[in-house]
Amino acid sequence: MQRSKSRTRVEELIGLNEPWKNGLLAFLGFGGSLWNIFYHLGGNGPWITKVDGVVDSGIEAPVGCRVEQVHMLSRHAERYPTSNAGAPPADRLEGMLALLQRIKDSNVTFKGQLDFVNDWPYFSLDPSAEHDQLTTTGPYAGTLSAFAAGTRLRTRYRNLLSTSSVLRPVNFWASDSNRVIETARYFATGFFGPDWDSRRAAKLHIIPETPDLGADTLTPGDTCLRYREDLLTGHDYGLIQLSKFRSAYLPPVSERFQAQNPGIKFTDGELYSMQEMCGFEALVRGSSPWCNIFTHDDWLNFEYARDIIHYYRAGPGNKYGAVMGWLWLNATANLLDEGPDGGKLFFSFVHDGDIVPMLAALDLFPSTTNLPVTHRLKDRAWKMSQVVPMNGRVIFERLACETSAKASASEGPRDYLRINVNDGIVALPICSSGPGFSCPLEDFLSMVRRRGEEIGDFHEICGLVGRDSPGRITFLHQ
């Protein structure tokens, strides 16, 4: 059976996130239960295991089954804030530095919860050089996290590795962003070994993040023309909806801080930036005083705010989301249909904004209604903190399971599809009749085909009809 949403895997949180256990700010008592702030940072915190809505039996292959093929779509590892124009305003280097400059220029000696600001140093010594890049210090360093992920999966899928790179290098892929490429390289060092490149155990393919690739891309948000040009319901729709919810939950926070410091009043954007800095500083230093100045309810609202931006920027709430995500999903379904003869290991590295559309296409976390922006929806499946944290990954496993003793001996093993999200097995909402809540592979393939028909054509929806660009992903192969 599936785990109740209210149940927490305490032993896994402590065992799998050892640095977190020792952190000063991440683990707090809350009404007799456990409170881990990393589960409420909306993707701005370090990698965490998924604990809500997962199957009880764990990540081991079900009895009588073996994993024979693996497909991973992974976000880059832990990073500094970004400075690109497409990022949320408070997630940009400029936004944080502007806030700190205003604090300095105010000449206010801060009191109360904000008294630490009087002598707090920014967490980057060289912002212009470090922004956009993986973090390299502290217990949550992105370089360490990516290497650890490779080692973790090497342990889990070593039997596939031993038979995959004997005759030829294993192909794997990264979109053309330095932090994504470095994540892939550190992962490969953990998975294939430190000399993977020189001994040609694996070959990394860099896929450009340019608009001319059409459907043959890992970053469809860069190639879907209408998504980029539609200022109301395209890429910026998430920011529009985020702004609405920020105005609903942050005014009381502003009043609280102003009561302690009458000489300055913070805007919604500045308060949101403070919440962002909690996670980003923790990624560099291991903890952050910014985490302490907000209540648990403030953090639940921030988590929901991050869910909103993902939902409406490239998820189910965006009319372009599913068609963009169907590209990788369809290519992967074809490889699953082909089976291990076509390759056993497929690793792709991208941004969180490239994983979210795939989730929309798969409809893994369905909702009966769009996320409201006037209040927090408490009972929801769409919780991205546990799905796309830094270094977050979604893994599709093709399982071969022995048939029952009553079946014909000549029937042989049957094939199933299982989904692992950050070391938590998530059952497909409409297909979980197989061992360990897996989905019969033929049913999964039929489901993907139906979804493709429902979603529509990428070129047509994205305004690329008549353009000389591929209509599907062609590079995913061994």
Query: How sure is the predictor about 245, in pLDDT bands with cuts at 50, 70 and 90?
Result: very high
> Exactly one of 40, 52, 71, 76 is catalytic; which is it?
76
**Average pLDDT of the chain, as a whole number:** 90
* Residue 40 CA from chain centroid, whole number: 13
Provide the pairing of β-strand 65-75 with 345-350. parallel
Average pLDDT over residues 441-469: 95
Lowest mean pLDDT among 22-36, 74-88, 314-328: 22-36
Residue type, 406: K
Answer yes or no: is pLDDT of 23 > 70.
no
Q: Tell me, what's the pLDDT at 5? A: 40
Answer yes or no: is pLDDT of 406 > 50.
no
> Exactly one of 222, 268, 352, 415 is catalytic; which is it?
352
Exposure on the CB side of residue 13, measured as CA atoms within 13 A: 20
Answer yes or no: is pLDDT of 2 > 80.
no
Q: Tell me, what's the pLDDT at 379? A: 92
Q: Tell me, what's the pLDDT at 34? A: 82
Query: How sure is the predictor about 411, in pLDDT bands with cuts at 50, 70 and 90?
Result: low
More confident residue, 117 or 89: 117
Q: Tell me, what's the pLDDT at 467? A: 83
CA diameter of the chain: 81
Q: Tell me, what's the pLDDT at 342? A: 94
352 noted as active-site residue: yes
Phi-psi region of 473 (alpha: psi -120 to 50; beta: other; left: phi over 0): beta
Give, rounded to a whole angstrom, the gap between the first and last alpha carbons of the chain.
36
Q: Tell me, what's the pLDDT at 470? A: 86
**DSSP H helices in 286-338:** 296-313, 321-338
Q: Rounded CA gap, 15 and 169, in Å?
A: 34
C-alpha Rg value of the chain to the nearest Å: 22
Exposure on the CB side of residue 112, measured as CA atoms within 13 A: 10
Q: Tell me, what's the pLDDT at 87? A: 46
More confident residue, 97 or 162: 97
297 noted as active-site residue: no
Q: Tell me, what's the pLDDT at 39? A: 97
Q: Rounded CA gap, 361 and 315, in Å?
A: 8
Lowest mean pLDDT among 31-40, 66-75, 376-385, 403-412: 403-412
